[in-house]
Amino acid sequence: MSRHSTIVGGSTADRLLNCPGSFQLLQRIPEQAEMPSEYADYGTAMHAVMDRLMSMYADGFPPGNEDPLIFAARDMLGDTFYDRVLESHHLEDSIYPAIVTLYDLMREYGGGFHVVANELKVKFPGIPGAFGTTDLLLASKKFVLMVDWKFGAGVPVKAVYKDEHGEKVNPQLLFYFAGAMEELPSMFNKKRYAVAVIQPRTAERLTHTIITRVEIDMFIEDMDLAIIAALGKNPKLHAGEHCRWCPARPFCPEHTGPLFELAELEILPAQLQASTADSDDGSYGIFLAKAKALADQAAEYKKAVDAAVHSYLENGGTVPGWKLKQMTKLRQWIDEDVVNNELTRLGFGQDEIWQRKLQTFGVAEKAAKRLKVKIPEHLRVAPETDETTIAPESDPAPRIDRAQATLEFAAALKQLRHEQGS
């Protein structure tokens, strides 16, 4: 982990806005070298590919479709970007869909775009040491459009989020956009603004929104207030989605608190038992609601602590009672042709060596988007089941009322006995 040399950056803006107290907590963590991550390294390499591609079209993109960029990307096969050689699966999984999605985005805003800046280093206005990098800044006669590349396949990143207060623009995008306006002020005169996230390895490749200068000014003001609070006495801590990647999470009172509450519950796990609605006065259900909420938070806390222990050990630290060990990977077949020939020699039939099955929904959806077609819904059905699972009240699925079902069954049984006795 890099040392917190600045109070805020693009990736931490959301956290500081929502939890000013996180800054002072982070200062307690010993300085550590940043751990290498395959996901981060992959993203850096794919960013480098797009960087070279975009640099080729500073004067404007080829009109029509995206084929010229795709051909240019194909010509890069075998070149080294960051830590890896560009291979065909990189193009298919990340680069081609990113190019196609970029063209979709530009068409959405009227076309006619050229590259204003690529990998532009920016400084956030009014905050010393607050820097960031905009991935791609485009301009047309009407719009300035900022694009942020995301090449992760796990957590989707969106340009706009919804929370209890309504919709909000991703603070990371606002941070970078405000910095770009500070860096290149003349580019933003008499134009409208939009920001977008292109994440080609997820189901929703593109999210975007129009923003206004008023929104940018308000964001700058909110950022200033958050920093004043963060540097003050006893700044406020607040748990939420912004905590996901916070290194201070393992010792943050907002996350450790539920553990103490869980320990204070009077019923131990061994005493938990199934209960029907007519066996108590409802207090057991209230207890279970509280226990479930606390247990879920404790589970998230455990994941954060495990990640912190791993990071600390990887960087040479000592954690009493714990050590690093070699991760066990599942075995894989070597070259398919070699395996096929060897198993055939041993007497295996072809149906005992190979299997054929349909692709997953996710793979099929990506192909459908590329082909600009929709998969008919009747091709995918969910098997019927009587099984149930638990869900929060906010879940849109209809409620299964077992209490009502129990009453109806009891009434039917009573009626049946009455008929048999008559």
CB 317 within 8 A of CB 308: no
Q: How far apart are CA 7 and CA 15, in angstroms?
A: 11
138 burial type by CB count under 10 A (0-12 exposed, 13-18 middle, 19+ buried): buried
Q: How far apart are CA 179 and CA 191, in angstroms?
A: 17
pLDDT of 151 over the 50 cut: yes
Q: How far apart are CA 256 and CA 252, in angstroms?
A: 6
Return the structure tokens found at 188: 């933003």
Residue 209 lies in a domain: yes
- What is the pTM assigned to this prediction? 0.66
The count of domains in the chain is: 3
Return the structure tokens found at 199: 């994440």
User: Do residues 31 and 121 both lie within one domain?
Assistant: yes
334 burial type by CB count under 10 A (0-12 exposed, 13-18 middle, 19+ buried): exposed
CB 301 within 8 A of CB 255: yes
User: Do residues 219 and 115 both lie within one domain?
Assistant: yes
Q: What is the pLDDT of residues 220-234, one digit of tens each?
A: 999 999 999 998 898
Q: What is the pLDDT of residues 265-320, one digit of tens each?
A: 655 555 555 555 555 666 667 777 777 777 777 777 777 778 778 877 777 888 88
User: Do residues 168 and 295 both lie within one domain?
Assistant: no
User: Do residues 272 and 308 both lie within one domain?
Assistant: yes
**Beta partners for residue 81, in sequence order:** 84
Residue 214 lies in a domain: yes
Structural domain of residue 166, as residue ranges?
10-231
User: Do residues 164 and 99 both lie within one domain?
Assistant: yes
* Share in percent of the chain as helix, strand, coil (round to 5): 50, 10, 40
CB 215 within 8 A of CB 174: yes
Return the structure tokens found at 336: 């398919």
Q: What beta strand segments (E) does 199-351 contain?
A: 206-211
Q: What is the pLDDT of residues 34-79, one digit of tens each?
A: 556 778 889 999 999 999 999 988 888 887 788 889 999 999 999 9
